[in-house]
């Protein structure tokens, strides 16, 4: 597609439920990133996929968070047993390659998650 597509755009869930957030990167982009943005805050790195390399999971805040990517296409971020502090906008980005070309992230519009 023309841009990074994320779904759903909004998600309201009850505390304790699991949620799955989806990201479709730009076709041909080998690198994919997930960030979290809490209200009034900057973006917080979560995880980074680059081609067939092992993902960099160093930003995942707890073992309730996990992400998968199928080849160089769709990625899913899963949050298990959601807590109120998980409420945020989850942003996905992709870039043409890793290395210095990975600096230029193209972001989707995000999924706004509200845990009630």
In whole angstroms, the minimum distance from the beta carbon of 88 to another protein comes to 13
Q: Least separation, in Å, of the C-beta of 68 and another protein?
A: 17
Applying the rule CB under 8 A, the residues between 5 and 34 that interact with another protein are 31, 33
CB of 97 to another protein, least distance (A): 9
Segment 36-95, which members bind another protein (CB under 8 A)? 40-45, 48, 50, 56, 58-59, 91, 93, 95
2: left (phi over 0), alpha (psi -120 to 50) or beta: alpha
Query: Burial code of 77-102, b = ≥16 C-beta within 10 A, e = fewer?
Result: bebeebeeebbbbbbbbbbeeeeeeb
Give the integer Cα–Cα distance in Å for 3 and 66: 24
Pairing of strands 19-24, 75-79: antiparallel
By CB under 8 A, name the binding residues for another protein: 4, 31, 33, 35, 40-45, 48, 50, 56, 58-59, 91, 93, 95, 98-100, 102-110
């Amino acid at each position: 597609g023309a841009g990074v597509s994320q779904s759903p755009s909004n998600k309201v869930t009850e505390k304790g439920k699991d949620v799955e957030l989806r990201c479709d990167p730009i076709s041909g982009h080998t690198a994919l990133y997930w960030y979290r943005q809490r209200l009034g805050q900057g973006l917080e790195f979560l995880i980074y996929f680059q081609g067939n390399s092992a993902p960099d999971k160093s930003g995942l805040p707890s073992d309730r968070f996990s992400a998968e990517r199928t080849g160089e296409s769709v990625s899913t971020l899963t949050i298990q047993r959601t807590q109120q502090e998980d409420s945020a906008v989850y942003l996905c980005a992709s870039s043409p390659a890793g290395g210095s070309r990975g600096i230029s992230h193209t972001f989707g519009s995000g999924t706004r998650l509200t845990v009630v």
